[in-house]
Structure 1
Amino acid sequence: MRNEAAFGVNAEPARFDIARKRVWVAGHKGMVGSAIVRRLASEDCEILTATRSEVDLKSPDQVRRYLAATKPDAIFMAAAKVGGILANDTYPADFLHDNLMIAANVTEAAHREGVGKMLLLGSSCIYPGTAPQPIREDALLTGPLEPTNEWYAIAKIAGIKLGQAYRKQHGCDFISAMPTNLYGPGDNFDLSTSHVLPALIRKAHEAKASGADHMTIWGTGAPRREFLHADDCADACVFLMKHYSGFEHVNVGSGEDIAIIDLARLICDVVGFEGEIRLDTTKPDGTMRKLMSGEKLGAMGWKARIGLRHGIAGVYGSYCAGLPSAPFAMSLSDRAHQL
């Protein structure tokens, strides 16, 4: 058992040196996991990764065997089943079951194998839909969740509480970070499962490519959302791994939000689509506003660096580069230099 005084409920921030450590990034092929791998490349550490064929995180035996064989000193737990409103509403059992299993298996195995530190990544959807803005960490469990993603949110809340329970009972140095809405290279652009920002990028691109005179977005356009580039999130996660060792989870965000209609206009401007933006008000808006307080992380000395317009331009460039033919990739490169 670890030292309760050092890692107990009331522990203060403490330095964890990852230099010359073995660091496992679970979920390294995902948008956030790959960003963490990129960020760790500048650290003097050994990065461990495993594909789904090498270790199924829903299998407790496979996770335990992997940790016993690789013996990581630290873990970034970025693996999760994720999706937007439609995916959450269509596959509630999958989102709840799979994310519960992943969190439980990795946390238990990390404890059993004596992992020195673990950071579990959650989501801003853990907060009540009616939480006061900006949302502070202590708003957790103060009201009902947004119905469109409650299954995923419940699994993420369970992950937070699981880490806290292992800290309290076993003295494990497990911490949790709750990022806001993320975007970046490697995002999911499938319109049936994606989040709003990549979905809007694809819609604007396809509208331009087809010569359409309009594109349609879900809802009223009035909801406001905060966005953070995945590379900023990765930097915050490494910062927390090094400098934070507390019981409470920590919000990770940009500190600014934008109305969905204004986001759509910004994306259309970056893409170069000049048609009309139409609203499908038969579709749900979700939570009307979700801006997180970054006061706690800011007080530690961290802040986001990638502006939204610049970040969107980079993501659109990577999206175009990944298409079978990229008719706008070259023009976007020129455009990105002007943003």
Structure 2
Amino acid sequence: MTSLPKTMRHIAFDAPGDADVMRLVEGPVPEPGPGEILIRVRAAGVNRPDVFQRQGDYPPPPGASPILGLEVAGEVAALGTGVKDIAIGEKVTALSNGGGYAQYTVVPVGQALSFPKGFDAVRAAALPETFFTVWANLFDMAALKAGETVLVHGGTSGIGTTAIQLAKALGARVLATAGSPDKCAACERLGASRAINYRTEDFREAALEQTGGRGVDVILDMVGAPYFDSNIATLAKDGRLSIIAFLGGHRVEAASLMPIMTKRLRVFGSTMRPRTAEEKRAIRDQLARTAWPLLSSGAIAPLIHATFPLEQAADAHRLMESSDHIGKIVLTVG
């Protein structure tokens, strides 16, 4: 690492709070440990967990960088001991355990993938967090199959736009919810056969109408408690409810468990960040076989709503919190 700088710029905050607590500071360049790579960051994705961490509601797991940022793209700058099959200078995008809002970050090599064909750093940085999450929850845990119907809540979020495209490309029928006519139109352009405006329609009624009363096979939900009863009612027999966030709250009052038994439903939830390096490597390998060829061929693509320079991370967070975006928000790192 003799040719590397000793310090770097990164975003920090001293105490939880609103977006204005974030500031650009100087700090040491991290060193890769065994099985890790150091990435010179060119772009970093902005995600809801970053906002929750800044607010004090999503602390990093033990050993993870306290710096915000869970996905990056750039070039390999240094290799930790034992790292093979990747070269210094190679362009990679990676799921980080933290540390993405910085000029350099360290990630386990098993969480990095090469840029899809034709991608620049901004488009590549928009991939890891959403693709790892969608794959783990829709295709691993919920076992979504070709020919099944999936309902994606929050269809114009980064997760939603990824889930719609990937599910459609792999043969599922997709329904989605969104909060405006423009957002519903965006969902349908991405591949949803029907987008439901949750502000003016009952998504349960619309989904049942779309499935001839049968219900959907899988629901990907990030709203939580307010949707729980309607989600259960919307699922078909042997349906699966995958909960990935609680934007509307996590406490469900007086819910009936009977439909879960009578329809043989499965309800589960997960988060990505606490998973082990081995679990994340397995997801990485599945994405390399299935999603990356689709990205390289142009069959699917990340939807970028806006980019901000690193020093304007607060503006990026304010946009994320407004929910006015359609697709991904990305920071560029000079």
Q: What TM-score results when the alignment is normalised by the length of structure 2? A: 0.32
Where is the helix percentage greater, Structure 1 or Structure 2? 1
Q: Which has the bigger relative contact order, CA under 8 A and spacing at least 6?
A: 1
Q: Which has the higher strand share?
A: 2
- Normalising by structure 1, we get a TM-score of 0.32
